[in-house]
Every structure is written in structure tokens, then in C-alpha cells.
Amino acid sequence: MRKCATVFYTGRVQGVGFRYTAREVACGYEVTGYVCNLLDGRVELAAEGEQEEVQAFLEGIRASQLGSHIRHADVNWREATGEFNGFDIRY
């Protein structure tokens, strides 16, 4: 079943290459979506694909060097819409 997860990461997640690393991690998974910095210091990430693949991608982010910078991840699931082409960094 295709799903979309929107995740809000808190911690020391800006200024550490989070967006670029997330995009690189995404290359290893069949997911589409985006990652962007928010003005309040959090990072927002949306990933769409088969639910198991999205879950594996999110675990891949935690297992990368980013994991030590993440204090909390608030994950919200919804039905996939097919709105994304590739996985991009948004500014």
C-alpha cells in the first residue's frame, strides 16, 4: 500500500548537512518527496512510496550520521497522492 510520511525532526538538525544527507539516503530507496529547513529550527521531510519502503528509508536516516543529531521525530502518515517526482531539497 502506498503511503506518505511527513516527518518533523527536532534537535541539531540544521547546519549539519541534514538535507543533503537525506537526499543521498533517499537514492537507496524507492521513495519520492522532499526535505526542507523550517524557520523554527526543525527539518520537514515528506516521503512517499510503499509503506515498508518509506519506513526503511526513515530508519536509514536514523542509522546514518544524522541519527546523532535527531532528538525527536514526529511522524504523520497519510495516503499517497503521487504528487512528487524524485526526492528534492526545498528551499
Number of domains present in the structure of the chain: 1
Options 2, 12, 23, 37, the catalytic residue: 37
DSSP 17-68: SHHHHHHHHHTTSS-EEEEEE-TTS-EEEEEEEEHHHHHHHHHHHHHSGGGG
| Exposure string for 15-44, b = 16+ CB within 10 A, e = fewer | eeebbebbbebbeebebbbbbebeeeebbe
Return averaged pLDDT per consecutive 10 residues of the chain, 91 residues in all. Answer: 97 97 98 98 98 98 96 98 97 92
Per the annotation, the verdict on 71 as an active-site residue is no
9 in a structural domain: yes
* Cell numbers found for residue 28: 537507496
Options 2, 12, 19, 90, the catalytic residue: 19
Per the annotation, the verdict on 85 as an active-site residue is no
CATH number of residue 17's parent domain: 3.30.70.100
This model's pTM is above 0.85 = yes
